[in-house]
């Protein structure tokens, strides 16, 4: 993933696993701009937590019940102007396609984009392509049969066959998306207890990937 000056950086989609080192780099980058730097975390328990320094953030336990789901770094000038802001994590629960946001005066600077891109490149986990399987992608393919029925005015028997196929394929597809969210999350904050959780889950992710690959190979060889 590379940022370009003509890209709408408000809608950047990249899977990431942010460690203490990564968030420190982002915080320091935002801190190079004049103004007061603030760090805020949105957590699973619905609360917003503010940290005065990066050290306070890194000292947060990040327990499961109050795990970080979104992290915001911002620098505001004395007159209230937003100089730079980097947000990691989706703004909406079901809108994972927008999980890295840049804004403020710095968002117009290609050098700022390039530096953020360099940091994000180091944050991408090996399963990033799997994690980017989005609900809209599956929904698109599930709706294709309905589009075919409307466009080509198919006989009702053919239409029922297509609808039946969607009914059969749909539940497993949604189940696969649920498992993807569980095993291959788009946003991971490996800070505090989150680092240990991330390490524990890595073998399970490798195993899930291996099983899927073996099943695919088995079906291909049988077919």
pLDDT tens sequence across 10-19:
445 678 899 9
Q: Are strands 16-19 and 187-190 parallel, antiparallel or unpaired?
A: parallel
Q: pTM for the complete prediction?
A: 0.71
Q: How far is CA 17 from CA 30, 120, 190, in A?
A: 19, 9, 6
Q: How far is C-alpha 14 from the chain's CA centre?
A: 6
Query: How does residue 5 score in pLDDT terms, banded at 50, 70 and 90?
Result: very low
Q: What pLDDT sits at residue 113?
A: 84
First vs last C-alpha separation in the chain: 36
Q: Give per-residue pLDDT as tens, 115-143.
A: 988 898 888 888 877 766 655 555 555 55
Average pLDDT on 86-111 reads 76
Contacts of 123 (CB under 8 A, 6+ apart): 16, 17, 18, 19, 22
Average pLDDT over residues 50-63: 95
Residue 87 has pLDDT above 50, yes or no: yes
* 214 exposure class (CB count in 10 Å sphere: 0-12, 13-18, 19+): exposed
Instruction: Please give the backbone phi and psi of residue 187, each rounded to the nearest 5 degrees, phi first.
Output: -120, 120
**Of 48-57, 144-153, 173-182, minimum mean pLDDT range:** 144-153
Residue with the bigger pLDDT between 160 and 99: it is 99
In whole angstroms, give the CA distance from residue 22 to residue 38.
17
Cα gap 60→62, rounded to integer Å: 6
Chain mean pLDDT for the chain: 77
Locate 90 and state its tokens. 């989706």
Q: How confident is the model at residue 214 (pLDDT cuts 50, 70, 90)?
A: confident
pLDDT value at residue 27:
93
pLDDT of res. 57: 96
Backbone dihedral angles phi then psi of residue 167, each to the nearest 5 degrees: -65, -30
Residue 89 has what pLDDT? 87
Helices (H), the chain: 20-31, 54-58, 110-121, 128-131, 135-152, 156-183, 193-222
Average the pLDDT over 31-41 and give the result: 89
Distance, CA of 95 to CA of 86 (rounded, Å): 17
| pLDDT at 25 (0 to 100) | 95
The rounded Cα 172 to chain-centroid distance in angstroms is 22
pLDDT bucket at 43, cuts 50 / 70 / 90: very high
* pLDDT over threshold 70, residue 84: yes
The closest alpha carbon to 194, from 109, 88, 100, 114, belongs to 88
Per-residue confidence (pLDDT) for residue 139, from 0 to 100: 54
Largest CA-CA distance found in the chain, in angstroms, rounded: 69
Q: Kindly state the average pLDDT of the residues 77-99.
A: 75
């Amino acid at each position: 993933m590379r940022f370009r000056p003509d890209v709408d950086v408000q809608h950047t989609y990249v899977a990431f696993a942010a460690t203490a080192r990564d968030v420190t780099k982002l915080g320091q980058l935002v801190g190079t701009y004049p103004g007061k730097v603030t760090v805020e975390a949105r957590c699973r328990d619905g609360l917003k937590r503010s940290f005065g320094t990066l050290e306070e953030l890194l000292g947060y336990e990040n327990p499961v019940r109050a795990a970080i789901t979104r992290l915001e770094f911002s620098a505001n000038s004395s007159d209230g102007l937003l100089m730079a802001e980097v947000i990691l994590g989706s703004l909406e629960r079901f809108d994972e396609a927008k999980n890295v946001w840049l804004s403020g005066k710095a968002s117009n600077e290609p050098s700022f984009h390039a530096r953020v891109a360099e940091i994000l490149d180091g944050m991408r986990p090996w399963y990033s392509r799997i994690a980017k399987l989005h609900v809209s992608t599956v929904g698109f393919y599930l709706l294709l049969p309905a589009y075919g029925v409307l466009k080509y005015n198919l006989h009702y028997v053919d239409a029922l066959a297509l609808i039946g196929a969607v009914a059969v394929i749909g539940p497993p597809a949604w189940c696969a998306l649920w498992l993807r969210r569980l095993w291959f999350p788009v946003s991971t904050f490996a800070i505090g207890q989150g680092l240990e959780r991330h390490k524990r889950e890595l073998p399970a992710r490798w195993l899930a990937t291996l099983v899927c690959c073996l099943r695919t190979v088995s079906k291909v060889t049988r077919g």
